[in-house]
Amino acid sequence: MIKRPIAIDLFAGAGGLSLGLEQAGFDVLAAVEIDPVHSCIHKYNFPNCGMLTQPIEMVDGSSIRKVAGLTPRAKIDLVAGGAPCQGFSLIGQRALDDPRNQLVKEYIRIVEELQPSFFLFENVKGLTVGKHRQVLEEIISDLQSVGYSILSPWKVLNAKNYGVPQSRERLFLIGAKKGIELPDYPEPENINHITCEQALGDLPDAEDFEELLCSDEVPFKYLKASSGYSSLMRCTNNVSWKYGYKRKWNSKLLTSSLRTNHTEISRRRFIETKPGTVEKVSRFFKLSETGISNTLRAGTDSARGAFTSPRPIHYKYPRCVTVREMARLHGFPDWFRFHETKWHGARQIGNAVPPPLAYALGRQLISVIQPDLEQPGESISLGDPNLLKVDMSSASKYWGIENPIARRDRKNGSKKRKQEEIEALRVANG
């Protein structure tokens, strides 16, 4: 069997970066994610990847190597991840010493401990401008101090230029151990941008299925033949899998498509909103059939009110897009599953690096590593479907950790939580 380069995914979420790197030719052997529900989704889609569901502060290089099945001296080719960062500048002080930027320091610590040949660091575009620039400069300086050269100048890449039907700008830093050749950033693909119709046009209307009022999946038949982008998402040929492992999945199920019960007032507003503009009351963006999606956001986690992601309005139907349609707009193939709820599912997509963009970056790294790659001949089964249905309590129990919401509740009180839940339901129902 041909040995593939080894990657570790920090702050992994549901696995957008993991998927793109796998498709590029890496074996992602371990992932670290603090949210137990996200960890369950990652485990479902990547059943052979070791998972550490812990705060990054509690993780060290040896524990990552152990869960990845690696010896203490085994070579690691890549450490990748997007450490959340407040980007706060303190006059006369190091910005990374601010407690709010602790996660970035932990990322650098893990890189130093694992000593990979390369690292890939992802963050928001805002880190490159204004007072936040101090944080970026300190990140680069600290990574250089632990033995890495940084590809310069750093770049902000837009996913729309790499086969994703969405405008999404993110900063990427690429580093290599001093003495190892650095790759280049991927060049924008010389193609027309994928449109919303090309991404979603072959999918049926979720509101045609009563079952999707209480379930996120239903048997169905495609009404429209696939080609181009939709064919890639439906995995109708070997090209769809790139250098990733084929999954055994049921292509006759429409998944991640739980419906939203919008009011008739909301529906009228959605109809009256012009494509490519923002609906005035909900502030939801209405997709254009011939355009691309706005940046898909994650909403907030349970510690900040559990507000649902502001999913855009479908260009054809008077409703917000489903989680599956969000996945299409983000570059996730149809076999990839998310949590059955709209809140968790949308968060998992909004927080993810679009897989096609991750693939483009991964291929640049592969071009320097130069392994003798071929498409894997084996297919792997997806994980336990129960992982798609867990709540925070059962997910925490699955990983053997304390419930993060329980910690928040003891701190903030149940009255505030109840108010947040009511508001979250109001937003979700339009």
Which positions are catalytic?
85
Residue 168 exposed, middle or buried by CB count within 10 Å (0-12, 13-18, 19+): buried
Reading phi first (left if > 0) and then psi (alpha if -120 to 50, else beta), residue 75 is in beta
Asked whether the beta carbons of 131 and 93 are under 8 A apart, the reply is no
Render 12-33 in DSSP notation, one character per residue.
-TTSHHHHHHHHHT-EEEEEE-
Give the Cβ contact number of residue 224 at 10 Å.
10
CB burial readout 322-344, b (16+ within 10 A) else e: bbbbbbbbbbbbbbbbbbbbbbb
User: Whole-angstrom Cα distance, residue 322 to residue 258?
Assistant: 7
Residue 147 exposed, middle or buried by CB count within 10 Å (0-12, 13-18, 19+): middle
Asked whether the beta carbons of 278 and 310 are under 8 A apart, the reply is no
User: Whole-angstrom Cα distance, residue 183 to residue 366?
Assistant: 9
Q: DSSP assignment, residue 286?
A: B
Asked whether the beta carbons of 427 and 307 are under 8 A apart, the reply is yes
Helix, strand, or coil here: 7? strand
> Which tokens go with 149?
């050269």
Asked whether the beta carbons of 28 and 22 are under 8 A apart, the reply is yes
Q: Which helix (H) or strand (E) holds 273?
A: none
How far separated are the first and last CA of the chain, in Å rounded? 52
User: Whole-angstrom Cα distance, residue 15 to residue 258?
Assistant: 21
> Which tokens go with 77?
């080719």
> Which tokens go with 187?
């060049």
Instruction: Tell me the torsion sign for CA atoms 149, 123, 121, 112.
Output: positive
Instruction: Tell me the torsion sign for CA atoms 371, 32, 310, 232.
Output: positive
Helix, strand, or coil here: 72? coil
Q: Which amino acid belongs to residue 89?
A: S
Give which of 168, 145, 164 is closest to 82, Cα–Cα: 168
